Amino acid sequence: MEAIVNGKTIQLSEAGWLDNLEEWSEELAHEISKNEKINGLTDEHWDIINEARTYFTDNGTVCEPRAFTKLMKAKYGKDRSSQKYIYSLFPTGLIKCANKIAGLPRPKGCS
């Protein structure tokens, strides 16, 4: 699988995960989101994407969903932190959808 961004071909795994994490860009995030059946990334989507990327940068690993909910609650409040809220924006959730769009590595055991 591949995505074309600004005339450049970027390799993705068969499941749509970014092969080279250094190739991530906001433009690529928009392309991956189309594969995930998300029609446009809103500021709310970007808040989650950016928090996931920041956590990865700071910790060297993707954040597990329960811990991510706590991070979101501390920063954005109760209404924007539940799993239900995250699934309303990312149909297959934090791990399979938001992290993929954020250009993060596929966690072990995740299809």
Task: Give the type of residue at 32.
Answer: I
Please indicate whether residue 63 is annotated as part of the active site.
no
Name the region of 16 (left: φ>0; alpha: ψ -120 to 50; beta: rest): left
18 — phi, psi (to 5°)? -65, 130
Pick the catalytic residue from 44, 91, 110, 111. Answer: 110
Instruction: Tell me the two tokens of residue 33.
Output: 């989101």
Task: Give the type of residue at 62.
Answer: V
Catalytic residues: 110
